[in-house]
Structure 1
Amino acid sequence: MWRGRLEPQAIIWGGIFIALVMVSLCATVLYEGRLDAMERARETSRNLALIAERDIERNFELYALSLQAVVDGMRDPDVLALPPHMRRQVLFDRAATAKYLGAMLVLDASGNIVIDSNGDIPRQGNFADRRYFTVQRDNPDVGLYISDPFRSRLRNGSPSIALTRRLSHPDGSFAGIVLIAVNLEYFHTLFAGLSLGPHGSVALIGRDGVMVMRQPYDLRTIGRNISNASTFHHFRSAPEGSFSDTASIDGVRRLYLFRNFPDLPLIIMVAEAERDIFAGWRQRALTIGSLMVGFGLGFVALAFLLGAQLRRRMRAESELQMLARTDGLTGLNNRRTLGEILDQEWRRARRTRSMFSLLFVDIDRFKAYNDAYGHQAGDDALAAVARCIGENIRRPADSAARYGGEEFVVVLPDTPPAGAELIAEQIREAISDLAIEHAGSEYGRVTASIGTACWVPEQDSDVSAVIRAADEALYTAKATGRNKVSTFSSA
């Protein structure tokens, strides 16, 4: 019974375990694929950031050299004594005509244009209110200063940044500044050439948190201060690094890769949207995951089917085994099983020197009943008598069997003669109380005669002895009027 309960459950649980292992392995592979996609995106972003950083550094280095050349020239009296057109050619090299440069200007201590790279006659303008002017004026040791974005007053409000250097008199007092105005279109064009997917972003940010340029381009974000954003805190925490966060500007979650320029107060940030990073992986994961879950569920379903099939087979085998051991009509043990029970209980009684009792039950005038009422009625009567017998033996060790025809045997281990007679009388009364009509019986109903025998087995005795004794007692009951219990007496 234990083995029968275990095996179907073992198949089902084994199927579930295998399915879980399959799904777990698939989930592990998909998770590794997700990590690989993230790492590839991080490497791509790093490469793009390096490309942009080196391009900006190279150009800004040229701009810084051009500014220094003007500063050095402004200190040379011979250069200042030259005619305006020659002085302009000496002070301003070809960098002043580079694409995306607005102009190179020299401003005096009051912020007025005194030398203009665009022409011999300087344009009119005063920039004393600009921060790039006041910073150089108030801080002699600033060196190269990169301004925040502003709208140019000389180029119809074109967004620009300025690179400036201080001019000083021989005594160190402020003499003005030299500036190069860089059109922000330079950064816009540079960033537009970096492929970051439909939701990616690249930005150049000052270390003070002011946005210099951002792609996707939106003029409203230029000059915006993001120093309080969570992303900016990451940018200032290390020279370079990567992290995932949600942008404060557009609310898109991205993988950020940032680098702080080593020689410039700028930060380059390249961010690819997670939805773009995982778009291909998500499609593969959905396909593979769905197939694997389907296979897993199918495997579990197959395990349930196999378990159910095995359970049905074991139930059928159990039923066949039961049929082989029981009488099909009455449901009691058959004669073969009776032989096994008698042998087992007789040996146990002989080993323990305990009392062994046996009842022989025989339906009175059963042949006449069959002839009068038919075999179907006879079968019904046999089944009813078998129920009476089964209902009156209650101990687990007691058993009953159909011996043959209308005869039944009841085995009562550890039962003294008085107990055997009591059970036999109960069975007889129960059969009589069925009140099954039997016109051929002297009692007008179906009755039974019962012979009992009690024995304490000897070492050399055989169970057949008690069977013969019970049979002899049954013969006595039949001979003395039927419908009675007779106990074997050795006298």
Structure 2
Amino acid sequence: MLKRPTIFFRLRAALARHPNAIVLGSIAFSVIVFGFALAVLVQAHQDTTARAIENADNLARVIEHDITYTAQLTDLSIRAAVDGAQDADVMRLPDRLRRELLFDRSTTASQYIGSLLCLDSQGKIIVDSTSAIPRRVDLADREWFVVHRDNPNLGLFISRPLHSRLVPGEVDLMFSRRVNHPDGSFAGVVVAAFRLDYFQNLLSGVRLGPGGVITLLQDDGHMILRYPNDGTAVDENFAGRKNFERFKETHETSFIATSGEDGEERLYNFRTLDKLKMIVIIAPATRYVFADWTSRAWYIGVVTALLIVGLLFAAQLLSVEFRHRLEVEEHLRNMTRIDGLTGLSNRRSLDDRLMLEWNRSKRSGKPLALLFVDIDRFKGYNDTYGHQAGDDALTAVAQAIARNSQRPGDIAARFGGEEFVVVLPETDRASAAVVAAAIHAAVHGLAIEHNGSEHGVITVSIGVACTDTEEVADPLALIKVADQAVYRAKASGRNQTSMAGPFGGAAVTT
């Protein structure tokens, strides 16, 4: 029950300081609502992106598995032919038997292989899987032939897409291996023409939505296939294109970017097929990926906007009604002697009481001490945590000060902003230092977080002035001396008490 008046008092004090506090509070609440809605949408966007990336990665894995498996079958056929071609007994057989023996395993991959050829060291076809009589074509200038001739240990080589010299209009990837003589010298090449129709059939059942594309590249950027086909030429080189270079340079496997070809924004997902030196790119259009999210964002945005507009309109009506009451209360508050926020004496009351105690000290000859208390780095606290939190901190510090200045005659007052003054009648320098230490401990014990402070919590710097050590002409001069001591305390590191007087203002850590 005791907390209700305090909360009500703080609310009234806040309204007193800010006549439009209801509207400001509604705006603040609206910002919170907007921020919450925005956070929900951002999280939903991130979740949608993550799901799309996961789906693309799963699809890429399936494609990788199928292509790798098929390439292995093709390579097995090539290896079998190489083994036979390196066997002198096999090569002495009649053409028909030799052909059947060399290519007996090619039936395993026959649906993908256009033709399987065995060439001699001059690039002439000596065994042809599709013809009993080898076709007379000189293939010695082909890249796949040259690299095997010049590199004994190359192993399986996969060429760029090539227009076939044997079948007009057909485009193939050439899978090839070197054939050696018994002494290791170059004897020729076994090559399989792998039709691009395979990749087209593999991807024909994939649906990425409007604007989505799948691209299969070799790791140097040469295109093998693009699905759906947008007219891009086979073997076109993607090296130098912005999105491909971004993948090569940063190794980002997923990112959103705009295509330089058609201007479509897509979610690009790259997967490297290391064994085959290929790259598969799954790139659904973002307008398809985020279609559901966009609809939800519009719905949430409209509802949030209507809520905020309604709230602000109601707040404005309420503030008009409340403003009249605030004007009356403001007049009454100005007539009081209590600070509306902290509950301490206000400046007017301080001036009157300080003059009274000053005159009494002069008559009695007893010392009068004054503490000037300043909250450390309070502007930074307000900037970081907001003015409402600053008001709460001021109130908490004020109460801590008040609890440690409760003797009859003591007065704790808010001097202005984050500054407070404590008047201690009949108190000498040493006793004032004790009170200052108690205030330090009480404020530090509040443990109010302040990341902008070197101490991590709200602290105060205190300047102490006392008539038993200072020659001052009037109460204002006593305040000035204490204020100067505060600056020395701050200069020495804050969270300290600086004693004015014979010690030359040296800061004393409390």
Are the equivalent residues in 2 in contact too, given 1:203–1:213 (CA < 8 A)? yes
Q: Which residue in the other structure is 1:175 paired with?
A: 187
Contact conserved, 2:157 with 2:177, CA < 8 A, in 1? yes
> Match for 2:36 among 22, 25, 28?
25
CA offset digits 1:6-63 (Å, max 9, x no partner): 5751211111111111111000000000000100011001001100001011011111
Q: Which amino acid aligns with 1:48?
A: L
How far residue 280 of structure 1 moved from its aligned partner, in angstroms, is 1.3
1:439-477 deviation digits (Å, cap 9, x = unpaired): xxxxxxxxxxxxxxxxxxxxxxxxxxxxxxxxxxxxxxx
Kindly indicate whether the alpha-carbon contact (under 8 Å) linking 1:73 and 1:91 is maintained by their aligned counterparts in 2: yes
Deviations 1:352-400, CA, capped at 9 Å, x for gaps? xxxxxxxxxxxxxxxxxxxxxxxxxxxxxxxxxxxxxxxxxxxxxxxxx
The AA in structure 2 aligned to 1:76 is D
Q: Hey, what's the Cα distance between the residues in 1 that align with 2:262 and 2:112? A: 28
Cα distance change of structure 1 residues 218 and 109 upon mapping to structure 2, 3 Å threshold: farther
**TM-score for the superposition, normalised by structure 1:** 0.61
Q: Structure 2 residue aligned with 1:149, among 143, 151, 161?
A: 161
Alignment pair present for 1:86 and 2:97: yes
* Structure 1 partner of 2:127: 115
Structure 1: which 4+ aligned runs deviate by more than 4 Å? 1-8, 237-240, 312-319
Deviation at 1:304, TM superposition (A): 0.8
Q: Distance in 1 between matches of 2:164 and 2:324?
A: 89
Q: Does residue 131 in structure 1 map to residue 123 in structure 2? A: no
2:245 pairs with one of 233, 240, 255: 233
Residues 109-151 of structure 1, C-alpha deviations (whole Å, 9 max, x = no match): 2222211111221223222222111111222221100000111
Check conservation: 2:246, 2:252, Cα contact below 8 A. Answer: no
The amino acid across from 1:11 in the alignment is I
Q: Which runs of 5+ in 2 are unaligned?
A: 1-11, 332-510
Q: 1:233: Cα distance to partner? A: 2.8
Q: Secondary structure at the match of 1:182?
A: strand
**Are 1:235 and 1:260, in contact at CA under 8 Å, matched by a contact in 2?**
no
Moved more, 48-57 or 2-11: 2-11
* Aligned mate of 2:117, from 80, 105, 113: 105
**CA offset at residue 175 of structure 1?**
1.8
Q: Say which structure, 1 or 2, has more relative contact order (CA 8 Å, 6+ apart).
A: 1
Which residue of the other structure, out of 61, 67, 82, is the alignment partner of 1:71?
82
Q: Name which of 224, 244, 247 aligns with 2:236.
A: 224
TM-score, scaled to structure 2: 0.58
CA contact (8 A) 2:215 2:280 kept: yes
CA distance in structure 2 between the aligned counterparts of 1:57 and 1:67, rounded to whole angstroms: 15
Check 1:78–1:4 CA distance in 2 against 1; reply closer, same or farther (3 A cut): closer
* Matches of 1:93 and 1:236, distance apart in 2: 41
Q: For 1:85, what is the secondary structure of its paired residue?
A: helix
Superposition map of 1:254-333 within 5 A: 254-311=266-323
Question: Larger C-alpha radius of gyration, 1 or 2?
Answer: 1
What is the correspondence of 1:446-485 to structure 2 with a 5 Å cutoff?
none
Q: Structure 2 vs 1, CA of residues 3 and 118 (structure 1 numbering), >3 Å: closer, same or farther? A: closer
Residue 64 (structure 2) aligned to one of 46, 50, 53: 53
Q: Percent sequence identity over matched residues?
A: 39
1:206: how far off?
A: 0.9
Unaligned runs of 5+ in 1: 320-491
Q: CA deviation at 1:218?
A: 3.6
Kept in 2, the 8 Å contact 1:188–1:217? The answer is no
Task: Answer yes or no: is the 8 Å Cα contact 1:19–1:296 preserved in 2.
Answer: yes
The CA deviation at 1:209 is 1.3
Q: Residue 164 of structure 2 contacts residue 171 of structure 2 at CA under 8 Å; is this kept in 1?
A: yes
Contact 2:226–2:232 (8 Å) recurs in 1: no
Are residues 9 and 238 of structure 1, via their aligned partners in 2, closer, same or farther at CA, if it must alter by over 3 Å? closer
Question: Which of 170, 175, 199 is equivalent to 1:163?
Answer: 175
State the Cα deviation string for residues 194-238 of structure 1 (Å, max 9, x = none).
222211221111111111111121453320111112322344358
CA contact (8 A) 2:148 2:154 kept: yes
CA contact (8 A) 2:74 2:113 kept: no
Query: Secondary structure of 1:221's match?
Result: coil
Compared CA separation, residues 71 and 318, structure 1 to 2 (3 A): closer
After TM superposition, the structure 1 stretch with the greater mean CA deviation from structure 2, 275-284 or 122-131, is 122-131
Q: Tell me if structure 1 keeps the 8 A contact 2:217–2:223.
A: yes
Equivalent residue pairs, number: 319
* Matched position secondary structure for 2:132: coil
